[in-house]
Amino acid sequence: MFDTVLVANRGEIAVRVIRTLRALGVRSVAVFSDADADARHVREADTAVRIGPAPAAESYLSVERLLEAAARTGAQAVHPGYGFLAENAAFARACEEAGLVFIGPPADAIALMGDKIRAKETVEAAGVPVVPGGRDPELAEAARALGAPVLLKPSAGGGGKGMRLVRDLTVLDEEIAAARREARTSFGDDTLLVERWIDRPRHIEIQVLADGHGNVLHLGERECSLQRRHQKVVEEAPSVLLDEATRAAMGEAAVQAARSCGYRGAGTVEFIVPGGDPSQYYFMEMNTRLQVEHPVTELVTGLDLVEWQLRVAAGERLPFAQSDITLTGHAVEARICAEDPARGFLPSGGTVLLLDEPEGDGVRTDSGLSEGTEVGSLYDPMLSKVIAHGPDRATALRRLRAALDRTVTLGVQTNAGFLRRLLAHPAVVAGDLDTGLVERVVDDLVPAEVPEEVYEAAAAVRLEALKPRAEGWTDPFSVPNGWRLGGTPKPPVFHLRVREPVAYTPRGVHTVTGDRVSVTLDGVRHTFRRAGDWLGRDGDAWQVRDHDPVAASLNRAAHAGADSLTAPMPGTVTVVKVAVGDEVTAGQSLLVVEAMKMEHVISAPHAGTVAELDVTPGSTVAMDQVLAVIAPLEEAAG
C-alpha cells in the first residue's frame, strides 16, 4: 500500500477519498485553488498544496501544477476523483511518466472508452449488445435508415452535453449542423454518432472491479433513470426492473466490456434498457472512473470502492470471486446541488450560514461543505449527496425522504426540498421510472407560491429583534406595537420579498429561540431553522429580504418605464454585446452570464435604448444584481 496519495480534486469527492485514506493509515495530500483555501477538503487532509488561481484551467486542470504538488509532498500515487482530469488519458500518462501511480485504469483504456465510436465497436466485437446506429461520415444516411426518432451524440462527449433528439428527419441536416457546433464548442471535436432513440428508456449501469491479475467481476447494478437535462439526480441499487437472470446477463456483458479494453480498477458500464422489455439492454458507454453514485453500491455490497481502487492500484489481487458478491437490502442516493428550482434550476451561490447534514439510522452524507463555505460560480454545482440504506426499497426511500427533511443548508439555495418531493411521487414510489419522468412531473414538484408561514416566520424574527430589552433604553417609536396618537392601534405591516414584494401583517403566535422560529397559523404549528435572512424547513429554504417600496417607487420614476435587467444567478459576465446608447430590438441577445458550467443569455425585453450598462466581460455578479437598463424608444413625433 502507498504511504502518501495526492487527491487531484476538490469538494465532496476529495473529502470522501480522504476519509478512506485516513482509515487505511495513508497520508493524504489535498490541492486547492485560491477560491478553496479554506475548503473542507483542505482542512481534513494531512497536508495541502496551493496549485493556482481560482479558474480550473489554472489550478485543478493544470497537469504541471498537480505533478509538481505530488513531487513536493512525496506522493507515490494520485487519485483523480471524478470530473476535472479523472477521465483524461493524457493525465494518466503524465502521472506514469512522472513515476506516479494513477489510481484508475490504464491510459489506453481511458482513451478507448472516451471515444464513443471506438468504444461501441470494441464492446460489440466482444459480444456486448449495442444500440443500432451509425457514425461519421455516413451519419445522415444511417439516421435515415434507422428512421425517426434518432439521437445525435458527440463522439468525444459525456454528461448529456451536445446530445440532440431528432423526431422529424426533414430537419435532420440542420440538427446535425447544430450538434456539430455544440460538440466543437464543448469538446473541441465535432465528430458525431447517431443511435436509434428508445422511447421512455431506463438508464441502468453495472459497477465493475478489475485487478491487474486478470480478475474482473461486477458488483451489481444501479438504477439511474431519474434525470433532469440528461443529468442524474437520484440513483439506487439494485434496480426493481431486473430479475436475477437479467442481472447476471447484464453483469457478464459489463465484465466482457471491461475485459475488451484491458480495464483495471473501478469502472461503470452504462446500459440503456427499454422499460417494457428489460431483456433487451444495450451498451451506451463506459465511465472509466469512480461514479458519483458509488455509495449505493457500497451500502448494498459492504465494499469500500475507494479502498479497492487503492488496493488494485497498489498491485493487490482481488481476494473474492463473483460468487462471493451479494446484494443486501436497498440503497438510494440524492444529489444536493446549488441550484434554485423556483428559478428554473439556475445555479445559486453564497456563504453557508447554517449547515445540518443527517447521519446515522441507515443514512450517510458525503459532503464537501462546512459552515462558512463560500459556494461560488466557478465549479460544479453538486455540494453533497445524501444516501439511505434499508432492508427493502420502501424503507430506503422513507429514510431518504426523512433525511432530506432534516437537511439544512442556509445561505445557498439547493434542490433538497425538490428531491424530497420527487422521492414521494407515486411513480417513483412504485418504481415506474424512465429517463423522462422528472421532466414530465417537474412543474408539480416546484411550489408556485411562497407559503404564508414563511412570511409569518420572517415577520416573527423582525418582531423579536424590535422587542424592548431588559437592559438599556429602547426608542418607544421603534417598537412595532401598532400604537397611534389618538387612534386605534393598527397591526404592523412588514414589506418583505422572496420572489415578489409582499406587504405582510403577522397574525399568528410566534416563538423565536436561537436558530429556530416557530409560528402557529390556523391551529397548525410550523418550525423553521434560521440564519441571517434565511429560513429553512423540510429541505426547502427561503431568503426573505426587506423590501423598501418607497425606494422602489423612486427607482421606477427615475427610469421612466425602463426595464432593469438583473443577473438570474451569481456568476461571471462572459460576453457583452452592446454599449450605452445602442438601440436594441425585442429579444436581442445583450449579455451572457456563466456559472457552474451553465450559460444564461440576457435578452432585451423590448425594443429600446441601452440607458445603463454596469458590467464588462469578466465582471463577477451577484444574483439579482442590475446588469443593464433598457429605456423604451421614444415614439415618433406627430
Residue 637 has pLDDT above 70, yes or no: no
Radius of gyration of the chain (CA): 27
Q: Can you tell me which residue has the cell 475548503? A: 39
Any idea which fold 132-196 has? Dna Ligase; domain 1 (3.30.1490)
Provide CATH 3.30.470.20 ranges for the chain. 201-445
Residues 37-69 have pLDDT tens digits of 999 999 999 999 999 999 999 999 999 999 999
Residues 513-549 have pLDDT tens digits of 999 999 999 999 999 999 999 999 999 999 999 998 8
Whether cis (ω within 30° of 0) applies to the bond prior to 149 is yes
Provide CATH 3.40.50.20 ranges for the chain. 4-103
Please give the Cα distance from 433 to 419 (Å, whole number): 15
Residues 130-185 have pLDDT tens digits of 988 888 888 999 999 999 999 999 988 766 677 899 999 999 999 999 999 888 88
Provide CATH 3.30.1490.20 ranges for the chain. 132-196
Work out the average pLDDT over 426-434: 97
| pLDDT above 70 as % of the chain | 94
Are 75 and 231 within 8 A, CB to CB? Answer: no
Identity of the amino acid at 415: N
Closest CA to 400 of 411, 415, 414, 416: 416
Reported as a pLDDT band with limits 50, 70 and 90, residue 283 is very high
The helix or strand, by DSSP H or E, that contains position 72, with its residue range, turns out to be helix 63-73
Provide CATH 2.40.50.100 ranges for the chain. 561-632
- The count of other CB atoms within 10 Å of the CB of residue 53 is 13
Concatenated DSSP letters of 224-258? EEEEETTEEEEEEES-TT--HHHHHHHHHHHHHHH
515 Ramachandran zone, left/alpha/beta (phi>0; psi -120 to 50):
alpha
Q: How many residues does the chain have?
A: 638
**Ranges assigned E (strand) in 498-552:** 501-504, 509-513, 516-521, 524-531, 534-537, 540-543, 545-546
The CATH architecture that domain 4-103 belongs to is 3-Layer(aba) Sandwich (3.40)
Q: What is the mean pLDDT of the chain?
A: 93
Apex 541 CA angle, 491 and 568, nearest 5: 100
Pick the CATH number of 561-632 from 1.10.3720.10, 3.40.50.2300, 3.90.105.10, 2.40.50.100: 2.40.50.100
Superfamily of domain 201-445: ATP-grasp fold, B domain (3.30.470.20)
- The count of other CB atoms within 10 Å of the CB of residue 325 is 17
Residues 572-629 have pLDDT tens digits of 999 999 999 999 999 999 999 988 777 889 999 989 999 999 999 989 898 888 999 9
Are 415 and 226 within 8 A, CB to CB? Answer: no
pLDDT at 486: 65
| pLDDT above 90 as % of the chain | 79
pLDDT at 638: 33
